[in-house]
Amino acid sequence: MRPCGAGTIAALNGSRNSNQLAHPLRASIPVRVRAPARYVRVDDENDGRRIDNFLHSELPEVPRDRLHRLLRRGEVRVDGSRARASRRLRAGETVRIPPVASSPGPKSPGRPPPAGVRRIGGTIVYEDDRLLVLNKPAGLAVHGGSGVSYGVIELLRAARPDARYLELAHRLDRDTSGCLVVAKRPSALRVLHEALRRRALDKRYVALLGGTWKGGVRRRVDLPLERRHLAGGERMVRVSEAGRESVTDLARIAVGSGVTLAEVFPHTGRTHQIRVHCAALGHPVAGDRKYGDRELNLRLRGSGLKRLFLHAASIRIAGPGLPGVIARAELDAGLVAPAVRLGIPEDALARFCPASGGA
């Protein structure tokens, strides 16, 4: 027996034999009606945007790999033609978006908790009509997925349900705190990505490093990094000639009891770059359970340090189409208090605590 599609239903409705419709089994069969495709005209704000990113904004609940399958199958069309995921849209074009079931899969982000949604607004340190910068708490992922129920971007979208567009401009490791930039317009995201490619955004971190830094005040680490995925899916990064160019500058701020407070300037944005470079230098980041020193971490826990001491303290957002501001995210007490106990002078830490009078 062939399935009862829309054409069959129409034939039954038009039949003169009413007994066909009165049969109890036939009357209980659910009919699934396929929703029509949507046709969206590309506006000026989305001019030059990749079609896969455009689709992600239009279908935020659909995983990216599924969106790419829709493109490969030709279900998404631009002015009637197939399109690759890398195709850039032009204002005035029309995109056909097929009907897609948006039920979340087992790895899709879940609904953020109300308490987290309420708190996320208090982390914003700068905002204008094109972007915002927030002080990401340590331990919070930037987005959900891969076993993580929700992240910063899901919390922010839940807190601002009327916002038409909110997208991460870059990422921070889950255990790293500090400045995180979110674009409020597609055009702003493109400008920010271009600035990142040109290494025009000045990002500065503060880190507590293991060991007493001797020698010059400044050091440069220029070691290529290679990313690997272990059998369980965990990401690990190592120094390797087969890796990508990675450059990090460090400046000593103060020395304490077996630790050094340093300002860190990554010139490239590789995964775990600062943590791997500092470990290669012989000064692992305090509290780093992946690349750090286990004995050092145990000793530092006695001083109250219970997390990775790596904080994105500031970011300078300047250049064509950007506001020309320096956004700062202050250190929290969970980092300041242990550093003081370890002999780091309070005045050295004050510069990273604007609310407490630091510059």
Residues labelled catalytic? 173
What number of other Cβ atoms are within 10 A of residue 242's Cβ? 8
**What is the C-alpha separation between 179 and 254, in angstroms, rounded?**
22
CA distances from 175 to 76, 99, 323 (A): 38, 38, 28
Residues 312/203, Cβ–Cβ less than 8 Å: yes
Helix ranges (H only) for 270-331 are 273-281, 294-301
**What is the C-alpha separation between 349 and 339, in angstroms, rounded?**
8
Q: Chain centroid to CA 143: how far?
A: 5
Q: Tell me the chain's radius of gyration from C-alpha atoms.
A: 26
**What is the C-alpha separation between 180 and 192, in angstroms, rounded?**
12
Q: Chain centroid to CA 173: how far?
A: 9
- The dihedrals phi and psi of 293, each to the nearest 5 degrees, come to -105, 120
The CA-to-CA distance between both ends of the chain, in Å, stands at: 78
